[in-house]
Structure 1
Amino acid sequence: MRKAVSTLKYGLAAALCLGSVAAAVPALAQVSDDKVKIGVLTDMSGQWADMNGPGSLLAAQMAAADFGGKVLGKPIEIIGADHLHKADVGVGIARRWIENEQVDAISDVTNSAIALAVQQLTREKDRVALFSSPGTTDLTGKQCSPTGVQWVYDNYSNAIGPIKALIDKGNDTFFIVTADFAFGHSLEKIASEAIKANGGKVVGSIRHPFGANDLSAFLLPAQASKAKVIVLATAGKDMTTAIKQASEFGITAGGQILTAPVMFISDVHALGLDTAQGISFIEGFYWDQNDETRAFAKRFYEQRKAMPTALQAGVYSSITHYLKAIEAAGTDEAKAVSAKMRELPVNDFFAKNGKVREDGRMVHDMLLVQVKKPSESKGPWDYYTIVATVPGDQAFLPLDKSECSLVKK
């Protein structure tokens, strides 16, 4: 009898001990598949690869490593893929990642058309989407999602400020050269509305195919229009090609102004200061802004041999915030994490007192920059003069104007 009581006592003690351990780490049981897996879906080899691509994958890997490689005691895994700027390829990769490879979040997603499709898929499959690269405002507008966030910029933030500044200086007629896909269409619409709202006039527009090697057929009508400003509603190599050819055709020498709302430091680097000097645009991040940005950029440069773009820095920041939200929520379940992302402030080298709104827009201060003259630059990658800081509540579309169904009005 004593032996039976003794066995029972030890059995109860063991059970109580195991129970206390389980109570101490309930969050561990809430991580699906015993790991947090993040897929970086981007342009690894095409015309936008320099501004995101392998650099975005590196930024994601740095974020995971800096977080300690684990969250809630479970490993963080980063994978990447090239969507080739094809919607069917991009969505196919995203679907395979979610359904077969247990990916919890999809990051970056260059190309607005692909991003909108991924937004729909992650909404249906209860996964998180961390958009750093796409510019379409539909991601936080009529196609918003409770599990999607848009981190760095959008077409509204980058078009409104420069256009208003140009009109205020008397440059009131515009011709728009547009990339013929979702990103360009969105940017053209927002630019046109901003021009008209500020008393300007759109005298013409034309759309070019993605990846065109020669944009002369689209620039010459802009030149012939005599518009004071030519808006390049395009990005990447299409945009740098347009700027180079505008210089060759004497467009800028003839007095017409170019504005490139969606431009990044990789574009300036590709153009060179001789060609890019004087261009003003809105940026979400600049590596030489302060000690924190320089510290991150130095580590990034050591591995990439290029300074980080705003998009790449945004990948790091959004993934770090996502991991913090998992830790705070005690689970990697998409809706719970997304809700926590909206609760927690964003405070890192990328943004101070940033806020993810209910529509998924991460609101943070933006920078109005001007490209330096060659004589003003102190060396490689010293490309910007920061003209002004645009407060986040002025940079982005006001929440009360959002078309997102998640916004209470």
Structure 2
Amino acid sequence: MSFRHHCAAAAAALLCTAAQAQGSQPVRIGLIVDQSSVYSAVTGKGSITGAQMAIEEHGGKVLGRTIELLNFDHQSKADSAASKAREWYDNGVDAIHEASGSAAALAVLNVAKEKNKVLVMSGPASDRITGDMCAPTVAHWAYNSHALANTVGKAAAERFGKNWFFIAADYSGGQDVVKATTQAIATVGGKVIGEAKHPLNASDFSSAVVQAQSSKADVVGLANFGNDLVNSIKAAREFGIKPDGKQKLASLLMYITDVHSLGLKTAQGMLLSEAFYWDMNDETRAFAKKYFARMNAMPNMSQMGVYSSVKHYLKAIEAAGTTDAGAVMAKMRELPVNDVFAKNGKLRTDGMMVHDMYLFQVKTPAESKYPWDYYKVMGSVPADKAFVPLSESSCPLAKKP
């Protein structure tokens, strides 16, 4: 054998050995979620459980490789989230399927773009994920600010009144929700007459509520989330903004887990939008029963979004025959999303997974007939009306021919 042929054979053997080694490594999926701070109840362990259920339904393996699920508590700290994402990507994590909270999400997104790695998120609200910061390997799964504004914002303006005052979280998620809702209510004659901002994980909402009352606005729009939302609603009720009063509260992002924390007496009558409700049909109830057995709570749309995105990702790996980020994302866009979370969903070029959104109203205590019977279905908004049209997207990828 010539030296050249010997070298070629040796190189081929090395490549084969490397391929075999890679094939024996687990497919690793990471979740960067708040498990101990302001968003712990709306993502946290519930999102981890959703991912675990998706992996189990897939049989625990993909392409003959075991699936390993990692999770990290970022405590709503963007720098901590970005640092963990970098560490994971550098050490062989194939995909991250949640980075909850918009500030943390945008920080992790920058790392995913740099590393050209898969990142799919269901917890954050920011429209920038599929707007100016979009990337070929990044997806936004459960909802965004635009969809919330077009569902609950418009409905609240039409039902409750045209003059709005916002109590808003002073960071990207709250700012995006205020911007999107301001645009949405303007289409039905609404306008914003004031705003009070607060930091993440605020301790006192009395000043913001008093400002809202003094404004005489018809609607007090709550552009905050998790514990901040729950505490601002409690403060509003304590200061006299009652469910049967003239001034109404409208939450732009409220989950069933928030309603449970507040109780129906406090939350009753509020309009909200989610992409999922456990009591919609036999399929959602069957899934929710299994989830409840693990969590002692019903899932919200962000937790279900993680379940759906992990399930679709594993399906795409099988179809692509590889974990290569580009190939898998191409299959994720090609295959329709059909599961208990969404029917006929589609992952677009800009990274937004579009699907129907639902408008709900929180029941009164008298209307609720059994545990977690919290919502009345007020209507639905089809995907093409809920999300910004691709032709109007600010994502550079959407402009390609």
**Is the contact between residue 31 and residue 332 of structure 1 (CA under 8 Å) also seen in structure 2?**
no
In structure 2, what is the equivalent of residue 219 of structure 1? 209
1:267 aligns with 2:252: no
In structure 1, what is the equivalent of residue 337 of structure 2? 346
Cα deviation, residue 159, structure 1: 1.4
1:286 aligns with 2:291: no
Give the AA of the match of 2:390: L
1:40 aligns with 2:35: no
Give the AA of the match of 1:84: Q
1:199 aligns with 2:213: no
> 3-state SS of the aligned residue for 1:79?
strand
Rounded Cα–Cα distance in structure 2 between residues aligned with 1:55 and 1:76: 19
Flag the 1:254–1:372 CA change in 2: closer, same or farther, 3 A.
closer
Cα deviation, residue 380, structure 1: 1.4
Rounded Cα–Cα distance in structure 1 between residues aligned with 2:88 and 2:40: 21
1:121 aligns with 2:107: no
Within a 5 Å distance, the mapping from 1:139-158 to structure 2 comes to: 139-158=129-148
In structure 2, what is the equivalent of residue 3 of structure 1? none
Query: Normalising to structure 2: TM-score of the pair?
Result: 0.92
Unmatched runs of 5 consecutive residues or more in structure 1 = 1-21, 23-27
> 3-state SS of the aligned residue for 1:375?
coil
In structure 2, what is the equivalent of residue 234 of structure 1? 224
* Bigger Rg over Cα: 1
In structure 1, what is the equivalent of residue 318 of structure 2? 327
1:250 aligns with 2:232: no
**Is the contact between residue 277 and residue 373 of structure 1 (CA under 8 Å) also seen in structure 2?**
yes
Q: Choose 38-47 or 197-206, whichever is displaced more.
A: 197-206
Rounded Cα–Cα distance in structure 2 between residues aligned with 1:238 and 1:270: 12
Rounded Cα–Cα distance in structure 2 between residues aligned with 1:399 and 1:191: 19
Flag the 1:141–1:165 CA change in 2: closer, same or farther, 3 A.
same
> 3-state SS of the aligned residue for 1:407?
helix
Rounded Cα–Cα distance in structure 1 between residues aligned with 2:160 and 2:381: 21
Query: Identity, % of aligned pairs?
Result: 49
1:132 aligns with 2:122: yes
**Is the contact between residue 185 and residue 191 of structure 2 (CA under 8 Å) also seen in structure 1?**
yes
Give the AA of the match of 1:106: I
Rounded Cα–Cα distance in structure 2 between residues aligned with 1:169 and 1:51: 27
Q: Choose 371-380 or 265-274, whichever is displaced more.
A: 371-380
Cα deviation, residue 196, structure 1: 2.6
Aligned residues: 382
In structure 2, what is the equivalent of residue 13 of structure 1? none
Rounded Cα–Cα distance in structure 2 between residues aligned with 1:261 and 1:279: 10
Rounded Cα–Cα distance in structure 2 between residues aligned with 1:132 and 1:406: 20
1:67 aligns with 2:58: yes
Q: 2:86 aligns with which of 95, 107, 115?
A: 95
Cα deviation, residue 389, structure 1: 1.8
Structure 1 vs Structure 2 CA RMSD: 1.6
1:152-196 C-alpha deviation (Å, 9 max, x unpaired): 111111112222223334711011111011100111111122233
In structure 2, what is the equivalent of residue 393 of structure 1? 384
1:122-160 C-alpha deviation (Å, 9 max, x unpaired): 122121111010000100011001101111111111112
1:292-322 C-alpha deviation (Å, 9 max, x unpaired): 1111111111111111111111111100000
> 3-state SS of the aligned residue for 1:323?
helix
Flag the 1:373–1:212 CA change in 2: closer, same or farther, 3 A.
same
**Is the contact between residue 346 and residue 355 of structure 1 (CA under 8 Å) also seen in structure 2?**
yes
Q: 2:70 aligns with which of 76, 79, 85?
A: 79
Give the AA of the match of 1:197: T
Q: 1:336 aligns with which of 327, 330, 344?
A: 327
Cα deviation, residue 229, structure 1: 0.6
Unmatched runs of 5 consecutive residues or more in structure 2 = 1-15
**Is the contact between residue 30 and residue 331 of structure 1 (CA under 8 Å) also seen in structure 2?**
no
Rounded Cα–Cα distance in structure 1 between residues aligned with 2:245 and 2:276: 32
